[in-house]
Every structure is written in structure tokens, then in C-alpha cells.
Structure 1
Amino acid sequence: MAEAEAEAEAPKPRPRPIVRLGIFLIAHSLLLSVVCCTAGILTLLLLPVLAKNTYISENALMPGSANSMLPGQEVSEANRLVKDLTSLDLKPVGGGIESQRLIAEYMSDLGAEVSYHRFYPQSNQFHPLHFLSYPESGTIRENVSCSLHGLNTVGIIRAPRGDGKEAIVLVTPYNSGKIGPGEALSLGIAYSVFSLLSRVTWLAKDIIWLAADSKYGEYAAVDAWLSDYHMPVFNGLGALNAEMCHGSNILNELKDDSFTERKICDGFRRAGTMAAALVIKVADRSEQFENSLSIYAEASNGQMPNLDLINIVNFLAVHRQGLQTKVEKMWSLLNCKWLKILGEILESLGHVARSLNPQWKFGIPAADYAEGIATLASSLYYQALGVPTGPHGAFRDYQVDAITLEISSGVFSNDKVKQNDFLLRGGRLIEGVIRSVNNLLEKFHQSFFLYLLTSPSKFVSVGVYMIAFALLVAPLPMVAASLYIDAHKLDPSYENDKSTPPASAAEKFGITFRSCKWLNAAKKVFVVHLWGAVVSLLPYFVCQIPSCTPTISFVVWVSLSILSLLILYLILGFPFSYVNASSQSQNRDWALLKSVTISAAFIGLCLMSVINFSTAEIGALLLVPMCLMAQPLKLDVKARILRNFSRVACNLALGFIGFPPAAFFVLKGVFEGFGGISVGYFWNWLETIWAWNSATYLYIGMVHLPCWVLCIHVLFHPC
């Protein structure tokens, strides 16, 4: 008896500090949500201030350490190639074949190994089974005519100091049917560099020049060649798909030429593993972008090349060739008044910080802040979109670092002096980049692969911009746990369970029937997410409708989605499952449903952050406030307090903006204006991301949309 009393009076062991911290955070989940969400948004707005200057991480690159060797002789030959290419447009027939023959002749005169590569355009039709795979190149898709094919011209220079195991790729897209002045100049720049590299002795990596026939798309031509490059093809030049396309005779015409018979290689030619790739383009605009270089780096699903590749291009362009480098930005944000005000506030805070301590480097000029936000928003958007911004994206799918360089200059007149200077500067820029990559003994790995650009010379690394995402999603598990606990406190059997001693070992460890009631809410959340998967597959069937406009396709898709949701609700009895329930039971049900919904949103956002961090970042900005604020409107209306009515307004606004089509139209209207917007635009946007196998499409259909439906269900819960 005394021993029993001693055991009863013995103090209970205190929980560990991590457990006490968890209990404290769950108890103050409301304050945690407000603080973390506010801090996450502020951190995102402060990223241009926290951006670092770019630097070369790999010492072996040594950009600009050697003087350029490109002489005027190569520039003269490049001018002759440009003149010959532009003169082909005057010929009424055979311009495409003549352009390919002409490029091959110039390549062969330099002693390069020249070959042709035939490819067929790929179908971009949505197919659920092929969503996460890439179509096989070199095969004819259904409903594609054999006469519709392109022909790439490939030249390879073998490095005198190399062993054939590594290569650098130069890509110049051009329309073989009608070569524009910009395309002719890009071919001229590539030829001048190719001519120089055929004579140098320091080259340690093979050089591949791919003149990509872009009449069916720049990306399609490069992707088809890369697919065949990494997948051995044992057919000959003229036998490729011969069993499918007997009527295609362009290769036969080229082989019948005496020059081709002597110097063009039969079969697919290869070099070593690709160390890097540069896509060279010359913009056809020349009014306000003279002597500038635009860099495009985004690839599929937010993949980026190693930052060192961008750094050496930026360094050589600015400090060696005097070009102004640019990256994409959202121009509409530059005129936002609230950004200018925020920039001025941060600039003033920077002055105060430096007055207190000169070593505190906080704050940037207001104009630089607005430009940094516009560039950051563009970098976030294009990474989240998951669509490559140029043909360089095809290389990134094979883990090859590549960027597109678009040079702008006013040389489209007959001024030969300007054209010579433009070709010389462009050629020396490419030569410097190739010389730096040639110095590498291994692949790019020293610098960052996960980053956001705020200018060509400033970046934000993943260790900084992930803080904003972590702050946004941090309250979700705490709020879910708090709702779960509160829901069971509303259970009438909660007090009885506490007062009744456990009758079995299962109840002793908390495994009671009451603790399994959340499975009903979990079942609803699972089924709605399953509905989201069905909605994601519906476009495959909508695309089968013949002669269907984007507007009609969108309306049919929405109608089928609503119909399937209503059928699902009728089967599960969602709208009628609370009619005979008590008010406490209804409160417990919506709290449990919201708890499981928040948990599903947290898991979905975290998984998406592994695939595409920018998509998860933008999704968290839209989804987290909506999930945290969701509460039955009936409860707020009954209270008749100003605070509750303000919460009703916030919930309705967040519910509207959280709907994917509504968010698309609102953002498009804010950035580009509301004039001429139609519902077909959203369908076209969806077609774009599913045609490129973007994981953002899966996120919208299987994470964001189901969570939005569940939040709307919580809002209209019949409490």
C-alpha cells in the first residue's frame, strides 16, 4: 500500500525539450501562422537586396586570360558566307537544299567531318502515357507526312590535343526555306569561330557545329539531333526510316552532287561527351537594343545550367567586347508605384544602416531594386512554367550545360564596316567562351545549379531563396496538429475517454476508436485528389474532338470536370452527410477535414519543391493563405462582428484568386492588361505546359486544384 502511494506521489517525468517546443508551437499556431507567412513574403521581397555578385568558382576557366586570335581573314570569309546565304533567297526554287549544300561546302573546306541529319517533326498532342517520357526521335508519328522533314548540317573538328572523349557544341538555328538576315549573321559568327578553331593547336576538346534546320521549330531540330546522338542508329544516311518514307529524296539529291559524293560523310557522326553548348542567335531588332547580349538559360522543369557558364559569358561580353548583357524581366513591374515606394524605403534603411556602421551593406538604390524584382519575377515565372526559353533546353535534358546567346546590333543595313565589326566582336566572344570551357578537365560542378537571377551579374542561391518557402509552409503542420486536437476536444466522448481508465493495451497507448475518426476526412481528401488526377487526364479526351477551338475545349474540359465532381459528391454523399448531425459533430468534421487538407497541401508543396522549386514557391504564395484562412462562412456570418466579416471577405478573395484559371487571368491582366483576354488563353497556356511535359501541369491538377476544392468545401460547410 505504501509503495502504491509512493508511486502515485512520484513526480511525472518532464517531456523532452523538443516535445515541449512542439507543444508550445501547436498551442500558438495562430500567432505562428501570421508571423511565418508575413516573414516569408517579406523575405521574398528582400531577395534583390540579399543577392550576391556573381563570381567564377572554377579557377581553370580563366576567362579573358588570353588575347583573342580571331583575325580579319576569318571575318572576311564569314562575310562571304553571309552574302552567299542571303543571295539564296532570290532563287525561286531549291533554296532549302542549296542552303544546306552551301553550309556543308564551307564546313568541308575547313577540313571538318561533315554529315547530314534528317529528322521529322514531333506531335505535341497530349498523351497521359507519354507525359513523363520523351518521344523517340527519328520515327514518324501518326498523321505526319514523310515530306515534312528537316535536314540538319553537322560539322566536327577533331581536337589536336584531345582524345575524342569530350566536345563543345555550337548551334545556329536557321530556317532553310527562307534565311533571314539575323540567321545569316549567326551562321557567319559560327563560321568565323569554326574556321579559327580548325587551325589552332591548343584545342583539347572536339568542336561540333550544328546548323539546325528550324523550319519546324528550333527546339525540335536540336532535340532530334541530340536524341540520335545519344541513341546509336545503325542505318546509313539514306536508309534512315527508308522503310517508312520511300518518297523522301532530298538526301539522294544531295548525294548525287559531285561535291557531296567527295566530302560528305555517310552515316551519323559523333564526337565525345558534351562539356557545354552555346546556341548563337542574332536578333532582327536594331532600334533600341544595339550592342547588347541577351542570355536565356531556363530549361524544362526549372533546370538551369551551371552558373559559371553564365558568369564567363557575362564577363567576356562586358569586359572584353563592350556588350550590354541582359536577362529577361517583367517590364510591367518596373512601373509599379508600390515597388518604387518599397525600394525607396529600403534605400533609406540602407543609408541609416551605413551611418550606424559603414561595414553594413544593406539596401540598394530604388531603381536597382525595382529592376531586381522584375528580373527575379521573370526568373521565377519561367522556371515555374517548366518550358525551355530556347533550344538550349534540349541539352539540359541530357545534363549538358547550355545557354542561348542572342546578340542585337544595328548591322542589317549595307554598312560593311559595321557588319565586319559585329562579326568580329561576336566571334571573339564565342572564341573566349570556348577557350575557357576548353581549359576544364571535368564537367561544370563548382558553382550553383539552383539559383535565381536578379541581374546578369547578381544571383540568389538556393540557400537564401528557400528561406521564403520554408517560412511559408512552416505553419502548415502546426496548424494541422492544432486543428486535430481541437476537433477531438469538441468530441462528446473526449471527456469520458479521459476519465475512464484504459481497459486494454491498445487504449493504454492511445489507439482508440475515437482517434481513428480522422480516417473519414482522410478518405474525402484522398478521393478529391483522385478526382484531380482524373481532371488532369481529361484533356487527352478533349483533344480528340475534331475542329475544336481553344474556347470550346476549355468549356468542355470545365464541364466534364464539374460533372465528374458532382458524380463523386453524389456517390460519397458529401452535401448530405451533415444533415442529421449535431453542431459539435459538424464542427469536429470540418476541423478534421481542414486538418487533413492542410497536411495534404504541405506534402504536395514539399514534393513539388524537389522537382521544381519555383513552382512550389509560387504555389505556396497562393495555396498557404487560402488553406490557413479557410473556415465555414456560416460561423463568421452568425457572429456578426467586423472581424468575422473581414475574414469572410478574405476567404472569398483568396478562394477566387486560388482558382487556377482565375489566378491566371488576374496575373495576366495585372502584368499585360485585361484587353482582349478570353477563356481560350488558359487552354492555350495549359497546352503549352503539357506539350513540354512540365511538372507544373501535374502540380495544378493533382495538388493545387484538389486543395482548392477542399477549401471551398470547408467554406460552405453546413455548420
Structure 2
Amino acid sequence: MGLLTDPAGLRGRQVLVNNHGLICGVLYFASLVWFCLLASDQVNSATYLSENALLPGLVVLSSDVTTDTKNYLKELDVVMKESNRIPTAWIRGKFTQMSIESYVHNFTLNYPLGRGQRFEGKNVYGIIRGGGSSTEAIVLSVPFRGDDSGFPSTTASLALLLAITKYFREQKYWAKDLIMLITEHEQLGMQAWLEAYHGVTCGTKGVLEAGDLPARGGSIQAALNLELHSTKMKYIDVKILGLNGQLPNLDLVNLVHRICSKERSRHSFGNLEKVHNLPPNEQYFHSLYTMTFMVLGQATGVPDGNHGLFHRFGIEAVTMEGHEADGNGQHITLHHVGRVVEGVFRSVNNLLERFHQSYFFYLMTDTDRFVSIGYYIPCVGMMVGALLIRAFSLHVSLRGQIDDSINSKNDYNTGGVFITGLLCFLTGLVVFQIPIISTKILPVYFNFSTAKSVLTGFVGISIAALIMVEILTKVLGPREWTLLSIASLLYLGTMILAVAMSNFSLAFLSSIFIVPMALLVGSKLPRFVRTLICLLCQPLLLLTIVISISTYIHFGDLDRAVQTLAETLVLTSVDTLVYGATSQVIPILAYTPGWLMVYVLCRAKHVTTAKPKKD
């Protein structure tokens, strides 16, 4: 304990304190280099199946659903011309012809940011009861999309689901219940069905009225979501990203890829296929691009398919998206996809226990290579280490000031630091409520749209926070600055570690901006430079910069940047209220208070640098 309470305990450890700036800088850049090295085949590993019951070689596939799929697709085209809504009666009629239980699930969305708007939807599902006691189940789902949908059609998926259901109904080897689910309104319908199936509410109570299900199957072990946009596909993209950055068990991902390879169906991850016999340097950049794609997608916390909503319930799920083939060259047909679906269901049907043996935390560098948590977590560890070393050095300096204060009989008041920290956290709570507050006030008095109201609310509270900081900087003294700096460093380090436990990608990308900002507070840079750096890391401004760059890359201009920013803020607010997503919770409740404390220090005229007291 002498090391923490007495500066004299630093004898023999002066190198760490005197050179903390250099050490922190080395740790920061070492973290970035470590991350880049993860893409090397000498660091990452080849995928493998941990559960022997899933081995695709044990499954003999015999399905041929081509004829049935084409017939269902022709009928569906006729039905779709009559209405863009989900054809519940037609689907239930097909299930009834197969002697399968069929049910309709109704749900309602009370739009949380509008003027009492209500949206209704329906899901249709059928259940093939297994030969056991119905204690376990597997789900095959398809999102229904009408002609007015902004996404590619999924009629081919629905036709294949009905055809494979007919084939499954004729087999007698099923040990688990098979649930065939068609959902409406994309992820909203899936969320409502899952909440009704498990009897829970994930978002804000009263926003999504999931209702009750007429019937249930067993405990769901796995789910496969189909998004096929054509009868002829170039390749199948396997999607794995889930809500809040959650991932399915790696065994299920490997199973899908291996069965695709077995059936000679081209498959990819992140729309990037496996390329064999690449030169080492090209292979490295291919792996680095794939891994970066996954990190950027996982950091958003937004699922890239309906499968992403299963993970929070302990259900392993992936989406198979079939992209339409161009021209008359080699392509994948619905026959191939049907065989892959059969292989996945037959393999999962062999399981005697839940998925547990493989990884839940990993980064994919290719369709058959991955990085485990033990290799990528040091990236965050080095970032946090830089913050803790800086905090320790300031602690030593502060202890010397306290000793001098005691000897000179001066008081040392920490009340100002406590009030500053409290105000920063209260500001974060107010910011979190801005979408609801602004959409209730601004549309009424100024006739603003929902998107404009939310954006105006965030801009207004950001300006108010900057004014609050200018007032706080006139209250605290030099010693309080040092104590606040230590508190902000410890808070930011703890926050990054906590976020990394569930979403490494978000923690790592955030630390790239947070760590330099926090370390430069006590540097010898002019106050104007420190303030500018901190302002560039302001949450709303940083999001604006990212969206502007993305808009320019995709559309070649910045005219849509403001509109895209407003829509992004609305969507993240709705995701939080409906799905219980953390895509807005973490930046506001975790990042905003830490950024405010750092900005208070940037605006301070006197910030104590870390210098140990000499004997």
C-alpha cells in the first residue's frame, strides 16, 4: 500500500512515472499494430467443429424440392398481385394441405416518437411436431416483403420454405419440433414473435404489443433465416451479426459454411468469398478487409438480419442471403439451397444439448478462419493500460500536492469535483431522454417532423452542455483539475473494459478516439489545440463526420448528410425503445459523461502535469 499512499514508495519505479507519456504513446500504437497483425494467418486460426454431432459428413442428404418450389412460386406471384400484405390465408392453406398445425400471430407497434401512431402486423407459422416430447425446437424463418418494400424480394425464400416444409413433413426422424415462420415488417415482426414466444418484453413497455401465441413448440435450440432474392443465385452470404454486437456460436457458422462447401454452393462472409492460392500479401489484405468489415458492422450493434434478434434469448441463429446471379454463367439454384437447409436441420437435430463447446466471442477473417477472444482482447487491454498509467502518474503528483497542503495548513476541497462529475452524468441522462422530449414538444409548437425534432433536440442539448462547461471551468482550482483528470481517466478506462466484455468492436473503435483525447488533456499543447481535438471527439459531431464520409463514399456528395444524420438518430432511438438496443445507450450514458469531464479539463487554464515529488 505504500506505493499508493506515499510518493517515497516510487523509488525504483521512477521510470514509469517520469516517462509515462512515452509509455502511453507506445501502448496506443502497439494496440493498433496488434489489431493489424490479427489478419495474418500466423496469428488467426482455421475454423473447426467442436461438437461431433454436427459433423456434416454424418448427414446423408436426399431432398429435391425444385418442382415444388417452382409451383409455389408461380402461385405466390398470382397472390402477390392481389395485395402487398402477407397472404396469411394462402400460407395457412398450404400448411393445412400438408397436415401441419398453422397459426396467425397479431402484433401492434405504438410508435414511440410520433403522435399516437399505431401499426399492425401479422406473422404466420406452422409447427411440425417431433417424435419426442416437444422439449426442443428448430426455427426456419423468412421475412415477407411486398412489392412496396425498399428491400429485395423474398418470394423465392417463401416458396422454398413451403417446399422444404412439405419434404420435412414426410420424414420420420425428427427429434425436435420444426417451426416454419413467416414474419411481416422485417425485424419488427420477428421481435414481436420472439417476445410472445418467451413471454417477455425487451424494449420499453407498451411500445411493442407482442400479444399471445396460439401455440408453441419446445425450447428453441437454433434458427435459420432465409433471404433469397432470386431462383438463380451467384453465392450465399452467411450473416452472423446480432443485436448489440452478439454473435452466434461459431459451431453453427462453421456448420453452414461446411455444408455449403459440401454441396458445392458458393458461399461468403461479408460478401467476400474464400479465394484460394492467393499470394501472402494479397491474402493478408483480404483477411484484414474481411475482419475490418466485421468490426465496423459489429460496432453499430445493429443486426444484419432477422437472425440477430434470436441471440439475446440464447438461441444460435444465422441468415443465408442469396444474391441474384448476373448472366447465364454458373449459379446456385433453389435445389442447392434446399439441400443446405436440410443438412443444417439434420445436423442440429442430432444435438443432445445446447451449443456450448465453441466460441461466442470471435472475429472472422475469412469463411474458414477466425480470431479468438484471447488474441484480440489485448488490443483493448493496451488502450486501457495507457489510461491507467496516466492516472497513476497524476495520482503521484496529487499525493505530493496534498502533503504540501497539509504542511502549509491549506484546505483541500473535493466538493467541486464531485459536483462536476454529477452534472456530467445528469447531462447524459437528459440527453438520453431528448428524442422523447423533443418529439413531444417541437412538432406541436413548430410543426417539425420527427427527424428534424430529434436532430434539433440533440443540437440544442449539445450547445447547452458546452455553456455548462464554460461555467464549471471558472469554479474549480488547479488541485481539483488534477483530481477530475484522474477520475475521468479511471472512468473512461473502466467504461472501455465494460463495453469490450460484450462488444469488442465498439470498445476498440471508441478507444481509438477516446484514448488520445484523454491523454492530451495534460500535455503541453496550447489550450486552443486541446479544445479543438476534444471538440472533434464530441459524440454528435463525431457521428456527423462519420456519416458525412460514408455519404460521400456511397453517393459522391454531401447533400444527404444532414438528412441521413437525422434519420440515423431517429432509428437508433426507435431501436432502443422497441428492441432494447444499446446502440444509443452506450454512446450517451457511457461516453457522453466521460467526454464532458475531459472537455472541462481541456477548457481549464491550469492542468497539473504528472511529476513525482522529489525527496
> TM-score, length-normalised on structure 1?
0.72
1:320 to 263, 267, 290: 263
- With 695-704 and 217-226 compared, the bigger mean Cα shift is at 695-704
Are the counterparts in 1 of residues 534 and 602 from structure 2 also a CA contact under 8 Å?
A: no
Aligned to 2:499: 608
Change (3 A) 1:562 1:285: farther
Aligned to 1:149: 120
Are the counterparts in 2 of residues 529 and 702 from structure 1 also a CA contact under 8 Å?
A: yes
Counterpart check, 1:705 vs 2:592: yes
Aligned to 1:714: 601
How many angstroms apart in 1 are the aligned matches of 2:330 and 2:74?
15
How many angstroms apart in 2 are the aligned matches of 1:226 and 1:495?
62
Aligned to 2:517: 626
How many angstroms apart in 2 are the aligned matches of 1:173 and 1:681?
25
Change (3 A) 1:321 1:568: same
1:467-482 map, 5 Å: 467-482=378-393
Aligned to 1:255: none
1:667 to 543, 546, 561: 546
1:542 to 434, 438, 441: 438
Change (3 A) 1:20 1:467: farther
- Choose 1 or 2 for highest CA Rg: 1
Once the two structures are superposed, residues 555-588 of structure 1 have per-residue CA deviations (whole angstroms, 9 ceiling, x without a partner) of: 3432234235535764xxx24336xxxxxx63x4
Aligned to 1:188: 159
Aligned to 1:172: 142
Superposed CA RMSD: 3.5
Are the counterparts in 1 of residues 473 and 603 from structure 2 also a CA contact under 8 Å?
A: no
Are the counterparts in 1 of residues 155 and 229 from structure 2 also a CA contact under 8 Å?
A: no
Q: Does the residue aligned with 1:392 lie in a helix, a strand or coil?
A: helix
Letter in 2 for 1:381: L
Are the counterparts in 1 of residues 107 and 192 from structure 2 also a CA contact under 8 Å?
A: yes
How many angstroms apart in 2 are the aligned matches of 1:270 and 1:36?
53
Q: Post-superposition shift, 1:552?
A: 5.3
Are the counterparts in 2 of residues 96 and 177 from structure 1 also a CA contact under 8 Å?
A: no
Once the two structures are superposed, residues 480-536 of structure 1 have per-residue CA deviations (whole angstroms, 9 ceiling, x without a partner) of: 121132244356835837xxxxxxxxxxxxxx986x645543432232222222222
1:64-463 map, 5 Å: 64-71=57-64, 74-91=65-82, 96=85, 99-125=87-113, 143-145=116-118, 148-160=119-131, 162-175=132-145, 182-212=153-183, 214=184, 217-231=185-199, 268-283=214-229, 290-327=233-270, 365-410=280-325, 422-463=333-374
Q: Post-superposition shift, 1:653?
A: 5.7
Letter in 1 for 2:286: E
Change (3 A) 1:177 1:629: closer
Percent identical among aligned pairs is 25
How many angstroms apart in 2 are the aligned matches of 1:317 and 1:711?
50
Are the counterparts in 2 of residues 125 and 543 from structure 1 also a CA contact under 8 Å?
A: yes
Q: Post-superposition shift, 1:541?
A: 0.7
Q: Does the residue aligned with 1:172 lie in a helix, a strand or coil?
A: strand
2:474 to 576, 579, 585: 576
How many angstroms apart in 2 are the aligned matches of 1:636 and 1:183?
57
Q: Post-superposition shift, 1:278?
A: 0.6
5+ residue gaps, structure 1, are: 1-14, 127-141, 233-243, 245-265, 330-362, 498-511, 579-584, 638-646
- With 50-59 and 681-690 compared, the bigger mean Cα shift is at 681-690
Q: Post-superposition shift, 1:120?
A: 2.1
Number of equivalent positions? 571
Are the counterparts in 1 of residues 187 and 306 from structure 2 also a CA contact under 8 Å?
A: yes
Change (3 A) 1:42 1:672: farther
How many angstroms apart in 1 are the aligned matches of 2:585 and 2:246?
17
1:462-501 map, 5 Å: 462-490=373-401, 493-494=404-405, 496=407
- With 478-487 and 604-613 compared, the bigger mean Cα shift is at 604-613
Q: Post-superposition shift, 1:432?
A: 0.4
Are the counterparts in 1 of residues 364 and 370 from structure 2 also a CA contact under 8 Å?
A: yes
Q: Post-superposition shift, 1:427?
A: 0.5
Change (3 A) 1:466 1:436: same
Once the two structures are superposed, residues 435-488 of structure 1 have per-residue CA deviations (whole angstroms, 9 ceiling, x without a partner) of: 110110011111111112222222211111111000011122221121132244
Once the two structures are superposed, residues 114-145 of structure 1 have per-residue CA deviations (whole angstroms, 9 ceiling, x without a partner) of: 1222222352539xxxxxxxxxxxxxxx8345
Letter in 1 for 2:342: E
How many angstroms apart in 1 are the aligned matches of 2:91 and 2:546?
45
Change (3 A) 1:95 1:285: closer
Change (3 A) 1:231 1:703: closer
Q: Post-superposition shift, 1:676?
A: 2.2
Are the counterparts in 2 of residues 612 and 695 from structure 1 also a CA contact under 8 Å?
A: no
How many angstroms apart in 2 are the aligned matches of 1:692 and 1:307?
26
How many angstroms apart in 1 are the aligned matches of 2:112 and 2:430?
20
How many angstroms apart in 2 are the aligned matches of 1:667 and 1:385?
12
Are the counterparts in 1 of residues 359 and 372 from structure 2 also a CA contact under 8 Å?
A: yes
Change (3 A) 1:496 1:30: same
Change (3 A) 1:530 1:552: closer
Counterpart check, 1:55 vs 2:48: yes
Aligned to 1:523: 419
How many angstroms apart in 2 are the aligned matches of 1:474 and 1:322?
46
Letter in 1 for 2:319: T
Are the counterparts in 1 of residues 388 and 493 from structure 2 also a CA contact under 8 Å?
A: yes
Q: Does the residue aligned with 1:446 lie in a helix, a strand or coil?
A: coil
Letter in 1 for 2:483: L
Are the counterparts in 2 of residues 115 and 269 from structure 1 also a CA contact under 8 Å?
A: yes
Q: Post-superposition shift, 1:309?
A: 0.8
Aligned to 1:238: none
Counterpart check, 1:593 vs 2:475: no
Once the two structures are superposed, residues 354-406 of structure 1 have per-residue CA deviations (whole angstroms, 9 ceiling, x without a partner) of: xxxxxxxxx97333333323322222222221122111122223221111111
How many angstroms apart in 1 are the aligned matches of 2:177 and 2:97?
17
Q: Does the residue aligned with 1:64 lie in a helix, a strand or coil?
A: helix
- With 430-439 and 559-568 compared, the bigger mean Cα shift is at 559-568
Aligned to 2:610: none
Change (3 A) 1:22 1:85: farther
How many angstroms apart in 1 are the aligned matches of 2:245 and 2:263?
30
Greater strand content: 2
Q: Post-superposition shift, 1:702?
A: 2.7
Letter in 2 for 1:563: A
Counterpart check, 1:687 vs 2:583: no
Q: Does the residue aligned with 1:405 lie in a helix, a strand or coil?
A: strand
Letter in 2 for 1:223: Q
Q: Post-superposition shift, 1:678?
A: 3.3
Change (3 A) 1:158 1:380: same
How many angstroms apart in 1 are the aligned matches of 2:190 and 2:349?
22
5+ residue gaps, structure 2, are: 1-5, 201-208, 273-277, 607-615
Change (3 A) 1:604 1:312: same
Q: Does the residue aligned with 1:397 lie in a helix, a strand or coil?
A: helix
Q: Does the residue aligned with 1:268 lie in a helix, a strand or coil?
A: coil
Q: Does the residue aligned with 2:333 lie in a helix, a strand or coil?
A: helix
Change (3 A) 1:164 1:305: same
Are the counterparts in 2 of residues 96 and 178 from structure 1 also a CA contact under 8 Å?
A: no
Are the counterparts in 1 of residues 531 and 603 from structure 2 also a CA contact under 8 Å?
A: no
How many angstroms apart in 2 are the aligned matches of 1:391 and 1:628?
41
Once the two structures are superposed, residues 20-46 of structure 1 have per-residue CA deviations (whole angstroms, 9 ceiling, x without a partner) of: 887763454223212211111111122
Are the counterparts in 1 of residues 76 and 155 from structure 2 also a CA contact under 8 Å?
A: yes
Q: Post-superposition shift, 1:648?
A: 6.9
Change (3 A) 1:619 1:369: same
